[in-house]
Amino acid sequence: MTDLCKGLEMCATAEGVETESQFEALRRRGCQEAQGYLFSRPCEAGEIPALIAHLGIYVALPEAAE
Kindly report whether the global pTM for this prediction surpasses the value 0.75: no
Question: Does 60 reside within a domain?
Answer: no
Q: Which of 26, 37, 33 is nearest to 57 (CA)?
A: 33
The CA-to-CA distance between both ends of the chain, in Å, stands at 37
* pLDDT number for residue 23: 92
pLDDT (tens digit per residue) in 30-46: 888 899 999 889 999 99
Question: Does 45 reside within a domain?
Answer: no
Q: What is the mean pLDDT of residues 16-41?
A: 91
Residues of the chain above pLDDT 70, percent: 86
Question: Does 57 reside within a domain?
Answer: no
pLDDT (tens digit per residue) in 44-59: 999 988 888 888 876 5
Query: How many domains are there within the chain?
Result: 1
Question: Does 8 reside within a domain?
Answer: yes
Question: Does 27 reside within a domain?
Answer: yes
Question: Does 64 reside within a domain?
Answer: no
* pLDDT number for residue 46: 93
Rg of the chain taking only CA atoms, in angstroms: 14
- Look up the domain containing 9 and give its range: 2-40
Question: Does 12 reside within a domain?
Answer: yes
